[in-house]
Amino acid sequence: MKRFFSAFLLALYLIPAITFAQQVSKVEELDASFLNWHNMDQKSDKVAGVSVNKAYLEFLKDKKPKKKVVVAVIDSGVDIEHEDLQGKIWVNKKEIPGNGIDDDGNGYIDDIHGWNFLGNAAGENIRDENLEQTRIVRNLQPVFKNIASIEEVPADQVEAYKMYLECKKVFDEETAQHKARRKDLEAFEKRMFQAEEIIKKHLNKDSFSPDDVYKINSSNEAVVWAKNFLEPRYKQGFNREMLEGMKERNSLQLDKYYNLAFEPRKIINDDIEDINDRYYGNADVKGDRADHGTLVAGLIAAIRNNGIGIDGIADHVEIMVLRTVPHGDELDKDVALSIIYAVDNGADIINLSFGKDYSPQKFMVDQAIKYAEDRNVLIVHAAGNGATNIDETERYPTKRTNENHYVKNWINVGASSKTANKNLTAVFSNYGEKNVDLFAPGVDVISLYPESLYDMTDGTSFSSPVVAGVAALVLSYYPELTAVELKEALVKSTVSYGKKKVLLPNITTRDKKKVKFATLSNTGGIVNAYEALKLAEKMVMEKTVETERR
């Protein structure tokens, strides 16, 4: 049993995307040493932040912003009533609130702060979804389930058949894995309960603390077993709350992600393969799962220096909210329409803190990204949390279109930590010398949480809005820059850690090798607001001189 539980706990600790956060009403209740660290400076504060505070204090102190920048947050929804976002939410001035009329004629009724593509006109919303491989298996199984060989497949369906086989293999393997994990969890919980009951009886208490267990000195065989079971797990930080979180995630996997019978999209009743079937959804941009999107929005736009919460990166910015990302995989069509909506309604920058392994309607997203490129809108995207080399394994969406066109308005962001040592790279961050542009803080970052709460979190999902926030800050002072030039200002001004040896991201084993930070992105650097502003000013001055020469 000892070997089983050790291996089991290790597996639990290495499950990506599991966090056991505690939302608090005041940031002071969180570890103060992490508050706004991402805004700090490498030299003056001795942390690997992005020098936002330095930029305001030293570079921008005598300057005034020239433009209110709109950042579209395409995500799970945002709590637009959060105390630290007041006055920072985009308002569609062409729409009259609550009159039930599409005043601006864009097809979306009462879209005051953005749009929710995960709902219907009756106000019903989607919270959970399948993973894309599940949807692919469900959609293609009726076509291919009786096919014995690829030779039986018509030529125009060969690629679809290959995708079906790949997804079916992943679906079957993952389903089996999560069913086995459920049994492990049930067995583990049973033994944990037994151990807890033995300790309660021994101590004659209805509840006890880890310290109570550590102090036990007994020769009773059952008590010794219970102590030996609980003590090492408590010392690892494990508790019943974590176990409940693991059970909840396991249920999410089996009941939602990998459940062929779970079809939440039916409440919308659109054709997911028809981009022209686009006028669905509702104006509820918060929805019932706004945690992720609120964290993202806070890093970009939380009110600075107001004595509450955190300091966002960009002062002169508004957040346009597109609710597109459920618990599960987003649909390509929703992503495409959200990008188009953002561009058509005046977004300057789009933040995409999501990704997935399969993209059956990739052409829709490609067209939308190209649409943004053609209309001078910068897209900032989270590289992902699989500790994967995305030069070798593609994740979607991506800057590469099906026609092998690489858009130039795209920044891909990996996650870095507070300390500029071997642990600089986040253990979970995807990386790639070609396909990741730069890194940004994404470990132990404090931001906003729905209902005017706050939280500490990890993920490239939160590195991306740090970069989007820096981009918005730069653009608000230098609106003369195009989207491509804005990207150049950020990418070419990174603070280099290229020669530093860091641990290669790895979430499958405890054994990690060291590599040069330069090999993990094409800059080997971390975004820096102060340096980006300096370079932006230089670029604008050079543009002005060039224009005058003409």
Shared domain for 436 and 521, answered yes or no, is: yes
Domain with 46 in it: what CATH number? 3.40.50.200
Say whether pLDDT at 19 is over 80.
no
Shared domain for 290 and 202, answered yes or no, is: no
Residue 266 placed within a domain: no
- Nearest-CA neighbor of 533 among 89, 51, 163? 51
Residue 1 placed within a domain: no
| Span 394-430, pLDDT tens digits | 999 999 999 899 999 999 999 999 999 999 999 999 9
Quick check: bond before 397 cis, omega within 30? yes
- Cβ count near 215 (within 10 Å): 10
* Whole-number Å distance between alpha carbons of 345 and 307: 32
| Span 75-133, pLDDT tens digits | 999 999 999 999 999 999 999 999 999 999 999 999 999 999 999 999 999 999 999 99
| Residue 18 pLDDT | 37
Residue 327 placed within a domain: yes
Mean pLDDT of 236-258: 94
Q: Which domain holds residue 49?
A: 31-128+274-549
Shared domain for 54 and 144, answered yes or no, is: no
174-179 long-range contacts, CB within 8 A, separation 24+: 174/133, 174/253, 174/258, 175/254, 175/258, 178/250, 178/253, 178/254, 178/258, 179/254
* Whole-number Å distance between alpha carbons of 262 and 299: 34
Residue 356 placed within a domain: yes
Residue finishing a domain among 228, 257, 286: 257
Residue 26 placed within a domain: no
Element (H, E) at 76: none
Question: Which residues lie below 8 Å from residue 278, measured CB to CB, with a gap of 6+?
Answer: 107, 337
Shared domain for 489 and 541, answered yes or no, is: yes
Residue 535 placed within a domain: yes
Shared domain for 369 and 405, answered yes or no, is: yes
Residue 456 placed within a domain: yes
| Span 332-348, pLDDT tens digits | 999 999 999 999 999 99
* Whole-number Å distance between alpha carbons of 402 and 138: 24
Shared domain for 284 and 245, answered yes or no, is: no
* Whole-number Å distance between alpha carbons of 371 and 375: 6
CA-CA distances (angstroms) from residue 105 to 75, 94, 102, 368? 24, 9, 5, 20
CB 326 within 8 A of CB 135: no
Quote the tokens at residue 416.
């870095």
Shared domain for 394 and 473, answered yes or no, is: yes
Kindly state the DSSP code that residue 280 receives in the 8-state scheme. -
| Residue 504 pLDDT | 97
Residue 429 placed within a domain: yes
CA-CA distances (angstroms) from residue 26 to 89, 210, 231? 21, 27, 32
Instruction: Please count the structural domains in the chain.
Output: 2
| Residue 25 pLDDT | 87
Residue finishing a domain among 257, 284, 301: 257
Say whether pLDDT at 9 is over 50.
no
Shared domain for 217 and 314, answered yes or no, is: no
Shared domain for 298 and 424, answered yes or no, is: yes
Shared domain for 123 and 145, answered yes or no, is: no
Shared domain for 314 and 181, answered yes or no, is: no
| Span 350-380, pLDDT tens digits | 999 999 999 999 999 999 999 999 999 999 9
Residue finishing a domain among 257, 282, 311: 257
Give the confidence band of 549 by pLDDT, cuts at 50, 70, 90.
Answer: confident
Shared domain for 49 and 76, answered yes or no, is: yes
Mean pLDDT of the chain: 95
